[in-house]
Amino acid sequence: MNTLQLGLAIFGAVVLAAVIAHGAWTSRQSRPKQAEPVQGREAEKSDPLRLDDPDQRVEPSMGDLDALPTDNFKALPSLRKDLQLDPLIDVIAPIGIDSVVSGDAALASLPATRRAGSKPFAVEGLNVLTQVWEAPAAGQRYSAFQAGVQLANRMGALNQIEYSEFVTKARAFADAVGGEPEFPEMLDEVARAKELDQFAVAHDAQLSFVLRARRAAWSAGYIQQSAARLGFVAGVIPGRMVLPAALEGQQPVLVLSFDTQAALAETPEQTALREFSLSLDVPQVARSEKPFERMCEVALALAASMEGTITDDNGGQIRADTMEAIHADLQNLCDTLDARELSAGSPLAIRLFS
């Protein structure tokens, strides 16, 4: 073999090695990102981003951001109380009785379903011992009852057919416990329901960000691991994770959702996802949780660590200045809910906006 042939052979070997290396690199880049093996508790790193601090603002598709600390999201003792009928959002029919009725008898007299059409129906009793209105319970005694139906929810306003069904159910219960109901005028209550529904529609807000992969796709496990670092836990539905509220039993602050089929796959690490959503139901979450601020912080953190871009449902990029404008609008909305005694995250707001 002469010098020319040897040189060509060496050159060919170098080119072949480069082609193989490039192919391997391309293959690695195109594979979905995988979850990393867990080796003990990961160290807590940087503080969350703050929208009100100009020095900490980060564009959604640029930079690198460490995970938010999870200590902020530890559950505290539950302060949740049973929801009670309220004239602000319920039609209430008092039911007078001649003698005390046991909780067992009241439970046996309740209708099979707790709805009148699409509206929740409820019966409460005045506990003889505590003098508190409550859902009938076995072993208790009651000196009066009241039946109620919700004026409006996200299915719309209470209509005349639903009101009539409410009357039928309430009267049947009253007859069973030996009571006499007093019903408000139907047309007045239906008109009140329409007004409440119009207010609710004008002041409802359900927001969502979509995080889209800029380079390699993500496996379901990678998404779950990334979200877990920020305090998310698995939801009841496959492909759903939630960020719990500070108080146990309250509505989750945020919901992260990705393809259900990917979550149910036999080999979830082989799935390839290019997007997932982050959503906030504004009236369902207390202002004290700072839900939108945390939504933005989480979205920015995930976008940076996962090489993603934050967009709306139509694919338009959402930047930090847009987030701040939305935040200002939400503050005004929550002020209005407060003034109407329907504060975000309150039991009445949760019932009305459901």
236 and 94 in one domain?
Answer: no
The residue written with tokens 């059409």 in the block is 117
23 falls within a domain: no
- 105-157 pLDDT per residue, tens: 999 999 999 999 999 999 999 999 999 999 999 999 999 999 999 999 999 99
171 and 214 housed in the same domain: no
- Which band of pLDDT confidence, cut at 50, 70 and 90, is reported for residue 268? confident
Domain contains 142: yes
| pLDDT of 184 strictly over 50 | yes
- Distance between CA atoms of 80 and 77, rounded to whole angstroms? 9
* Average pLDDT score over residue span 222-247: 95
Return d(Cα 123, Cα 137) in angstroms, integer.
Answer: 11
What is the structure's pLDDT at 61?
35
pLDDT band at 100 (very low <50, low <70, confident <90, very high): very high
Give the closest residue to 150 by CA, choosing from 347, 350, 352, 343: 352
What per-residue confidence (pLDDT) applies to 318?
Answer: 94
Is the pLDDT at 312 greater than 70? The verdict is: yes
- Segment of 6-10, 74-78, 288-292 carrying the highest mean pLDDT: 288-292
Q: Has residue 17 been placed in a domain?
A: no
Q: What are phi and psi of 149, to 5 degrees?
A: -135, 140
Residue pointed to by tokens 């069904």: 165
Examine the domain organization and report whether 192 and 257 are in the same domain: no
Over range 266-291, report the average pLDDT.
93
Question: Do 226 and 259 belong together in one domain?
Answer: yes
Residue 193 lies in a domain: yes
CA dist list (Å): 297 to 43, 67, 242, 283, 316: 19, 10, 15, 20, 19
Cβ-based burial of 86 (10 A; exposed 0-12, middle 13-18, buried ≥19): middle
The yes-or-no verdict on residue 40 having pLDDT over 70 is no
Residues 130, 173 within the same domain: yes
245 part of a folded domain? yes
Task: Please count the other Cβ atoms lying within 10 Å of the Cβ belonging to residue 117.
Answer: 16
User: Are residues 69 and 155 located together in one domain of the fold?
Assistant: no
Which pLDDT value is given to residue 267? 81
Residue 214 belongs to a domain: yes
- Report pLDDT for 12: 52
> Could you say which DSSP state residue 247 is in?
B
pLDDT reported for residue 39 = 56
**Model confidence, pTM:** 0.77
Domain check: are 223 and 335 in the same one?
A: yes
Contacts of 66 (CB under 8 A, 6+ apart): 45, 46, 301, 305
pLDDT for the residue 37: 65
Q: Are 139 and 263 part of one and the same domain?
A: no
pLDDT confidence tier of residue 43, bands split at 50, 70 and 90:
very low
Q: What is the rounded distance in angstroms from the CA atom of residue 232 to the CA atom of residue 225?
A: 9
End residue of a domain, out of 201, 234, 269: 201
Residues 174 and 277 occupy one common structural domain: no
Residues 332, 217 share a domain:
yes
Is the model's pLDDT at 33 over the cut of 50? Answer: yes
CATH of the domain at 147: 3.30.1400.10
Q: Which of 95, 79, 78, 154 is nearest to 120 (CA)?
A: 154
Between residues 274 and 25, which one has the greater pLDDT? 274
Q: What would the two tokens of residue 194 be?
A: 């329409």
Residue 245 has pLDDT above 90, yes or no: yes
| Spatial contact of 111 and 173, defined as CB atoms under 8 Å apart | yes
Q: How many domains does the chain have?
A: 2
- Mark which of 201, 220, 250 sits at the end of a domain: 201
Classify residue 222: in a domain, yes or no.
Answer: yes
Q: Is residue 243 situated within a structural domain?
A: yes
Enumerate long-range contacts of 347-352, CB under 8 Å, 24 or more apart.
347/81, 347/83, 347/84, 348/86, 348/88, 348/89, 349/283, 349/284, 350/83, 350/251, 350/283, 350/284, 351/83, 351/89, 351/120, 351/150, 351/153, 352/89, 352/150, 352/152, 352/153, 352/196, 352/200, 352/283
Residue with tokens 């939801």: 235
**Which neighbouring-strand residues pair with 179?**
97
pLDDT digit string, tens, across residues 46-96:
344 444 444 443 333 323 333 333 333 333 333 334 558 999 999 999 999
Residue-averaged pLDDT of the chain:
84
Q: Could you tell me if 108 and 187 lie in one domain?
A: yes
Of the residues 201, 235, 262, which one is the last residue of a structural domain?
201
Q: Is the pLDDT of residue 7 over 90?
A: no
Q: For residue 292, what are the domain limits?
A: 54-74+205-352
Looking at per-residue pLDDT, the higher value among 320 and 111 belongs to 111
CA–CA separation, 273 vs 259, rounded Å?
A: 8
**Both tokens assigned to 10:** 């060496």
Backbone phi, then psi, for 19, in 5-degree steps? Answer: -65, -45
Do 311 and 193 lie in one domain? The reply is no
